Chain A
């Protein structure tokens, strides 16, 4: 079974530029998560999708971050414009929403450096 795919793996941009990250979850996983992990901290949930609907985006900085999952499969997270403090690893994870299948599986992450 293929794991969660993310691209790109690394990205360096200057502040005020825009950037987009892509995630393809494990096949059949209806729930998709985007996390931000700043160096030395645990992952922080940015947004959670159930199919193509948003379940939780309470910690997403909506003035600059946006995410979509139009067909309920892959997803894109965008930052526009980027700030220095956005430098972090952006992790995508997926899970099945059914009882007994609660485990989240993570992709390798995208490491973003904002200069």
Chain B
């Protein structure tokens, strides 16, 4: 079965420290990979995506993500966290050939403390 796993329900980090939000997937056929952020009472906002090429992808608000094909992972990272980064983060995977179907992880709540 196709699936996306975000093993941590919550990640706590101090402002200024690096952060990592983990994502692994089980979707066949070299899928596209995405990260979205959701602020309270808002829809999901696109952060970044991996389609092909360099394994390190840079996105909005200083976020980046590293694709690891052998580990089927796509971890979200930021060198220095801000309090305003506190939100809910979703990893999503889009199958290339199955009618472009999206699979979402369950989300990770990021708490950045001053």
Contacts and interface: CB of A to CB of B under 8 A. Distances in A.
Q: Do A and B come from one complex?
A: yes
Interface in A9-60: 31, 33, 40-45, 48, 50, 55-56
B21 to A, nearest CB: 13
B99 A42 contact: no
Given A33-B102, A41-B107, A48-B99, A109 B43 contact: yes
Contacts of B107: 40-42
B51 interface: yes
A105 interface: yes
B99 A102 contact: no
User: For chain A, which range describes its interface: under 10, 10 to 19, 20 to 34, or 35 or more residues?
Assistant: 20 to 34
A45 B92 CA distance: 12
Contacts of A45: 101-102
Contact of B46 (A55, A103, A107): A103
A109 B16 CA distance: 32
Interface in B41-96: 41-46, 49, 51, 90, 92, 94
Contact of A56 (B34, B45, B99): B99
A107 B38 CA distance: 11
A103 B60 CA distance: 14
A11 to B, nearest CB: 14
17 contacts: A4-B43, A40-B107, A42-B90, A42-B106, A43-B44, A43-B104, A45-B102, A48-B99, A48-B101, A91-B43, A93-B44, A102-B100, A103-B49, A104-B46, A108-B42, A109-B43, A111-B41
Interface of B: 4, 32, 34, 36, 41-46, 49, 51, 90, 92, 94, 99-102, 104-107
